[in-house]
Amino acid sequence: MHPPISLIWFFLTAGVSIGLFNFTYFMEFLTLFGKNTAMPRQAVIISLVISLVLIGLGAIGASFHLGHKMRAWKAIKRFHTSWLSREAVFSGAYGFVLFLYGLAYYFNANLFIQHSLGILTFVLGWLSAFSTAMIYASNKFVLEWYTSLTVLYYLNMYLMLGSSAFLSLTYFYRPEFVPTYLFLTFLFVSLGLAFRIAFNIRQFIIPRPTINEALNLPHNRPIRVLDTGTTTNNYCTEEFYYKKGKDLLGSVLPVAYILTFIVPLFLILYAWITGNYNYNFFKIAFASLVLGSFLERWCFFVEGNHVQNLFYGLYPEEGYRLRKGYMERKKTVIRL
């Protein structure tokens, strides 16, 4: 599949926003049970402003994916059937209620109002993340995505981004929580690595349809594509088969693995074991996570193979091997 940069951008901004809010509010929430976990006022306000700005930037970025931005509001109409519609509703509501929560916190509104809004924001944020993940996980024609792993992995990435961002706040405002957030970041990044490996291994073992199934012809007849009717690519071949991406995947995927998982894990583990809480470590770990996640999402799209590619002979053959086994498209050169 062709990776839409606007959607990767939305993933990163919404991910940091929802993830960061998740931990910021969680610390507030624990105070309800008499725990001394409240972050200083300044830290909470900084965190809320970052979350709000990011979700705003995310929405603006995501609108670049649309052909008609001014009609984006119409996306709320099919809430009962469309995950994209649900994503639009929940992410919009998350941003709005987050803003209200920010106001309530800033003006010290009564605790009941504050926490009601806080819990609502928390829930809406996760519903928005879940809906986004379901857009991919519910598409049964891209087998790489059509699994609950896609959802688990997606939500975990939000936690990963959120806990590593929150680490910086604890470093400056509540250093005694640094070990806790080191542990949480380590946990979520390790889980992310496990999910990613599982996601990649799964690609080898999923049973794939063949061109015979697509054409509904006997299984024992070999079928070859002779001609796809046009001399150049078209919307379908460009949207569902990104040749340049497929060629680059072998180089980008290892870099994505290193930046998203290996570098942060190493830095966090080092800080944790040595007790050397150098802020530069946390900064680099977070930057590496964000950059790595960008590449990781790019790979996620490129790794997706849409079954419509079968008609063009551009689907991985049975016995799929990573980066190999793609049928080359016949090159037609037109000389004028």
Partner 1 sequence: MAQFALVIDLNTCVGCHACATNCKEWNTQAAFGPLSDFDPYGREPQGVWYNRIMTYEMGEFPNTQVFHLPKSCLHCQDSPCVPVCPTGASYKREQDGIVLVNYDDCIGCKLCSWSCPYGCREFDEADKVMKKCTLCIDRIYDESLPPEHRKPACVLTCPAKARFFGDIEDPNSEVYNVIKERNGFVLFSDAGTNPGNHYLPRTETKVHVDEHLLKHDNPLFLEVLRRHHVGG
Q: Which is nearer to partner 1, 224 or 244 (CB)?
A: 224
The SS3 call for residue 102 is helix
β-partners of residue 308 are none
DSSP structural state of residue 200:
H
213, 247, 270, 323: residue in contact with partner 1 (rule CB under 8 A): 213
Q: Select from 66-74, 151-159, 253-261, 286-294 the region that touches partner 1 (CB under 8 A).
A: 66-74
* Minimum distance from residue 6 beta carbon to partner 1 (Å): 11
> Does 207 engage in binding with partner 1 (CB under 8 A)?
no
| End-to-end Cα distance, the chain | 32
Q: Report how many residues bind partner 1 under the rule CB under 8 A.
A: 57
Cβ 237 vs Cβ 312: under 8 Å: yes
38, 52, 59, 75: residue in contact with partner 1 (rule CB under 8 A): 75
Supply angle C-alpha 119, 122, 127, rounded to 5: 125
Q: Select from 165-173, 220-228, 261-269, 285-293 the region that touches partner 1 (CB under 8 A).
A: 220-228
The phi and psi torsions of 65 (rounded to 5 degrees) equal: -75, -20
Cβ 21 vs Cβ 123: under 8 Å: no
> Does 27 engage in binding with partner 1 (CB under 8 A)?
no
β-partners of residue 142 are 306
* Minimum distance from residue 199 beta carbon to partner 1 (Å): 19
139, 190, 200, 203: residue in contact with partner 1 (rule CB under 8 A): 139
> Does 223 engage in binding with partner 1 (CB under 8 A)?
yes
Q: Which is nearer to partner 1, 36 or 216 (CB)?
A: 216
Closest CA to 312 of 216, 256, 251, 236: 236
Cβ 289 vs Cβ 175: under 8 Å: no
Instruction: Give the length of the chain.
Output: 336
Task: Map the footprint of partner 1 across residues 271-310, applying CB under 8 A.
Answer: 306-309
Q: Select from 28-36, 90-98, 175-183, 206-214 the region that touches partner 1 (CB under 8 A).
A: 206-214
> Does 116 engage in binding with partner 1 (CB under 8 A)?
no
The phi and psi torsions of 103 (rounded to 5 degrees) equal: -60, -45
β-partners of residue 321 are 324
> Does 236 engage in binding with partner 1 (CB under 8 A)?
yes
Structure tokens belonging to residue 153: 């992995």
Q: Which is nearer to partner 1, 65 or 202 (CB)?
A: 65
108, 110, 201, 227: residue in contact with partner 1 (rule CB under 8 A): 227
What sign results for the dihedral spanned by CA atoms 224, 226, 227, 232? positive
128, 228, 260, 293: residue in contact with partner 1 (rule CB under 8 A): 228
Structure tokens belonging to residue 294: 């960008």
Q: Which residue has the tokens 């688990």?
A: 152
311, 320, 327, 329: residue in contact with partner 1 (rule CB under 8 A): 311
Residue 177 is which amino acid?
Answer: F
Task: Map the footprint of partner 1 across residues 151-190, applying CB under 8 A.
Answer: none
Longest dimension (CA), the chain: 79
71, 219, 244, 331: residue in contact with partner 1 (rule CB under 8 A): 71
Residue 161 is which amino acid?
Answer: L
User: Residue 188 burial by CB count (10 A; 0-12/13-18/19+): exposed, middle or buried?
Assistant: buried
Site string for partner 1, 76-115 (x = CB under 8 A): xxx--xxxxx--x---------------------------
* Minimum distance from residue 275 beta carbon to partner 1 (Å): 49
Site residues for partner 1 per CB under 8 A: 1, 65-69, 71-72, 74-78, 81-85, 88, 135, 139-142, 209, 211, 213-217, 221-236, 239-240, 306-309, 311-312, 334, 336
